[in-house]
Chains A and B, each alone.
Chain A
Amino acid sequence: MTIGARIPRVEDARFLRGEGRYVADLAMPFMVEAYVLRSPYPHAIIRSIDASEALKLEGVEAVFTAADVPADLGPIVCRIPTHGDLSPYLQHPLAQDRVRYVGEPIAVIVAKSRAICEDAAELVEIDFDPLPAITSPYRAIEPNAEPIHEAGNLAGDWGFDLGNVEEALKSAAYTVQESFSVQRHTAMPMETRGLLASYDRGRNLLEVHGATKVVHTNRNMLAGMLGMSEQDIRLVEPDVGGSFGARGEFYPEDFLIPFAAKRLCKPVRWIEDRVEHFGAINHSRDSDFVVTVAADENGIITAFDVKLVTDMGGYIRTHGDVVPSHAAACFPGPYKVRNYRINTKTVMTNKTPTGTYRAPGMFEANFARERAIDRLADKMGLERAELRRRNLIPAEMMPWHVGTESVKRPTIFDSGDYPAVFEKALAGYGWDAPFEREENGWLRGRGLCAFVEPSGLGAFEGVRLEVDQRGNVTIFSGSSNQGQGHETVLAQIVSSIIDVPVEKIAVRHGDTGIITFGGGTYASRTAVLCGEALYNASHGIRDKALKTASAKFNIPVEELELREGAVWQAGKNEPLITLGGIARILMPGNPEFLKPPSDKNIPDHDGLVVTSYIRGVPGGTWAFAVHIADVLVDPRTGETKVEKYFVACDVGRQLNPLIVEGQLIGGVAQGLGGTFLEELTYSEDGQLTTGTFADYMMPNVYNMPPVSTLVLEDVKPEGNVLGVKGVGEIGPSGVAAAIGNAIADALKSNTGLNILPFTPERVLSAVPTVTR
């Protein structure tokens, strides 16, 4: 059994040898390069575009503008349900007569090299009529604000009202009201986006390399936009250097590059550079909360009353409003609070459109809620863990229906013993252990947060499992792999059921040419959904192998077993037949077991192959987690050192503890970036002022504290056969909350630390004057 084995990732060997193949490693004969000419204005009318001078430059093949795409080409649609109709805010692949953010695609230039493209771009004459730029969602919804879209700037105004919040607030013994702000930041995968599209006109086949995440969905969207059959388009995922939710969505370029290849009948490659990435990739977070939390005299939280404003940027993209939607649906977190009200406003501004980033909506909501709860504890004079302890949803109340929904799916915390995990976390870290409050003038503090994290969302997932004549096994997965380690984990699942070593199991993924349907990778779903489909397919292979051996050797199935890649008769020292042998027997046309020749159909001879599609559980499966941190703060400068960091969670069952730990540690690194460093800022006139890594700071090795983890396998979810919960987003989700609470503890002051990121200057401003 290799499920649960702590084995290194099989894919790492090729990455360490430099044998990974990313989209920029691919080339084709006669290939040309594309460049996307982007708006320098945050908000402007386009009066005219003249590309004639650019077209004269040697090496330039074409310049495409909105006038070159079919007139009836619609905008890029939203792939998931939204709160209300967001269709008036969708983005066209190329700006039509108006641009709404700096970086919006206006034209595609195709030339023999990227450098020629960029020279040509300077020769394209565009007559802009600049309009006032709006960079604040509050300004955007003022009555006299310039409308960015005809439908107005307030795209959504919705919420939930559960129980009786008014009554709870009235009768509360304690209330705390605070505002919190989570800055705009986003995924910075080491590899930027890129596409290589080629079109075979004779056979009408379009192939696009560089796709990832949701390749089948994107293939279908592209087919619709190009008016082609889905089967005439193949999207292929190469090695992918990270995504974290941002890469692999259907962006304007996902239409434009295949479109250009089809028009020119030449392979066209576009590699996003980092400057483009900053302005073009979905931004994320950018949410403000006003939180009122009420409690009775015993420290029982009686209500959450929340106002949420999310800056959506210039357009609504494929994710719709999922970020504020998740935040609103899950705000109450792991607490048994029945009176919950939230109003959410989603607002259009002249900034890059937004989408999901690892732990979408959850990082934001956890920060606001858990900081507010620490305030409440302070106000009540109650120990911070104790306040949480009194309010956690007890195991016997599982499954817990929050009463909200997101993307038209009910929010149901399916399983778990939150209080038990909470106590184990506190004990595991030594929460109550005394510590030195001061060291060389620096102040030490400790903070924690508790939260729930969804996983395994999405309607379905599918796999096909094939065994060849030599007993090699190949998994064809409908999911995609962007560096999470699927090639290892998926092989482990199969290996544990049909007892073939992991090295003999190949994993192919992210390719519409290898499997008819696929869900893709998002919402920490692959272990949960792909895992279950593979479990079923592996059992299918096992049953088929045993049945075939039974027929061949005339031995009842009950006396047969499958191990070491072969079928054995119980008690015998030699195997009866290898899996490869079974695969040979089951080859179509093999006479060994053929029905009478008159029967043309050969139903049992479709190879040692099993396809399995499974449905998802509508609410997914939710993990409970606790983060704890110790920090040192210099009260004279606001410098903060995170001394140690701890993550505890119950994930049901670990498929590979090494990968689980890696996910958690990497996630904490990303969370620390969002807590201390990363921010996408705009000038008042709408220019992105953090457009390079000199200004947009990623965490590095110096920012990483030692991270320890406590991964529990106490309560297995019933919704999937492996009993697993996704772990991809538990790492970042609670970091800002735990760190904020730890700094406040160090300063012995809970005023401030409401605005992310925690720059030294902001931390210093939270230092009480007496301490200074």
Chain B
Amino acid sequence: MKPAPFEYFAPRTLDEALDLLESEGSEARVIAGGQSLVPMLALRLARPEVLIDLNRIPELSRIRQEGSTIHIGAMTRQAHALASSLVFEQLPLLHYGLQNVGHPPTRARGTLGGSLSHADPAAETPAVMLAYKADMVLKSKQGERIIPADEFTLGTFDTAIEPGEILAEIRVQAKPNEGAALVELSRRKGDFAMASAAARVSLAADGTCAEAHLIVGAVAPVPLRFDAVTDALKGQKFSEAVVREALELMDLELFEFDNEDISLEYRRKIGPVMAERALLQAFKRAEGMQK
């Protein structure tokens, strides 16, 4: 379990990293927190000839607010974002989502941008960003491209990042006054989900649902958005029965994954249960905010 030989660069600025990425071409690979890439290197499943390490670029690991937009550097550690009061207050779904990402040791190294760029279908961060309709800021020597979340994750381990590009920042509109929850079912806490659900709920003054978002992850190559369900909830008072009725509108045909150990049939059973739990939990939190 020793990686095949590779050349290693540790640039100090994003520009330097982009220069390297251009000069080393397709043989180069960017490494962030290394929580997925390092095991793949050790198993020799990934064999880049050049590794460009982004860990020493301070400009990539900041979280800041500009007006109503939260800017999150791609190299922000998951642990850092989880502990951030700005994230907790302005982007509660990201906070709850990160609680489900791996374990404290992996979150201490793992980065937000790394997780998004890796695009594991069972990962939480793509579902969270889809729920927020976040923007991904891609930088290259040619300049900058801004890609909305629903066009960023393209499939299993597949994103809109082009050769020569680095995911530099994630921009999210602050959502301070809503309830959020991410619920998932995995064989063991912290492991890959068999199905996950991310929900955002904001309430009108009368306690009815003003706006809601529901994403289900880990059941298809990309996280799935179920607007039909959340549209049906709009204007309604939340209850278990109401949520269950709305979830009848969840199109289970969109679920795709069917493995020997986790069948499609099973995912179709647990997906709505996770969604129900997430919606009810998000609602409770939203209600708590009104009090």
Contact = CB atoms under 8 A, between A and B. Distances in A.
A700 B273 contact: no
A114 interface: yes
Contact of B194 (A273, A676, A703, A760): A760
Contacts of B185: 637, 639, 760
Contacts of A703: 188
A119 B188 contact: no
Interface string A622-642: 000000000000001101000
A686 to B, nearest CB: 15
Interface string A672-711: 0000110001000000000010100101101100000000
Contacts of A439: none
Contacts of A639: 185
A636 B1 contact: no
Interface string B258-284: 001111001001100100000000000
A126 interface: no
Contacts of B192: 694
Nearest to A772: B269
Contact of B187 (A119, A276, A677, A681): A677
Contacts of B155: none
Given A115-B2, A273-B1, A764 B188 contact: no
B211 interface: no
Contacts of B270: 636-637, 760
Contacts, number: 55
Given A119-B4, A274-B1, A636 B269 contact: yes
A372 to B, nearest CB: 26
A103 to B, nearest CB: 14
Interface string B35-51: 00001000110000000
B191 interface: yes
Nearest to A35: B2
A636 B273 contact: yes
A761 B263 CA distance: 8
A7 interface: no
A688 B3 CA distance: 21
Contact of A637 (B2, B188, B273): B273
Contact of B189 (A118, A276, A702): A702
B107 to A, nearest CB: 16
Interface in A104-126: 114-115, 118-119, 122
A67 interface: no
A697 B186 CA distance: 11
B25 interface: no
A636 B270 CA distance: 7
Interface residues of A, number: 26
Contact of A764 (B4, B39, B187, B269): B269
A703 B186 CA distance: 12
Interface in A634-690: 636-637, 639, 676-677, 681
B58 interface: no
Given A637-B270, A692-B39, A697 B188 contact: yes
Contacts of B44: 118
B187 A697 contact: yes
A608 to B, nearest CB: 50
A764 B1 contact: no
B280 to A, nearest CB: 12
A762 to B, nearest CB: 10
A764 B266 contact: yes
A169 B109 CA distance: 63
B5 interface: yes
Nearest to A702: B189
Interface string A702-745: 11000000000000000000000000000000000000000000
Interface string B78-106: 00000000000000000000000000000
Interface string A238-277: 0000000000000000000000000000000000011110
A702 B188 contact: yes
Interface in B1-48: 1-5, 39, 43-44
A426 B191 CA distance: 36
Given A639-B185, A677-B187, A697-B188, A761 B262 contact: yes
A275 B41 CA distance: 13
A141 to B, nearest CB: 23
A125 to B, nearest CB: 17
A697 B273 contact: no
Interface in B235-291: 260-263, 266, 269-270, 273
Contacts of B191: 697
A677 B190 CA distance: 14
12 contacts: A275-B43, A636-B270, A636-B273, A637-B185, A637-B269, A639-B185, A681-B261, A697-B188, A697-B191, A700-B189, A760-B266, A760-B270
Interface of B: 1-5, 39, 43-44, 185, 187-192, 194, 260-263, 266, 269-270, 273
Given A273-B1, A677-B187, A761-B266, 13 more contacts: A114-B2, A115-B2, A119-B5, A274-B1, A275-B1, A276-B1, A637-B185, A637-B273, A676-B187, A677-B188, A681-B261, A694-B39, A697-B188
Interface of A: 114-115, 118-119, 122, 273-276, 636-637, 639, 676-677, 681, 692, 694, 697, 699-700, 702-703, 759-761, 764
Nearest 5 pairs of A and B residues by beta carbon? A115-B2, A702-B189, A273-B1, A761-B266, A118-B2
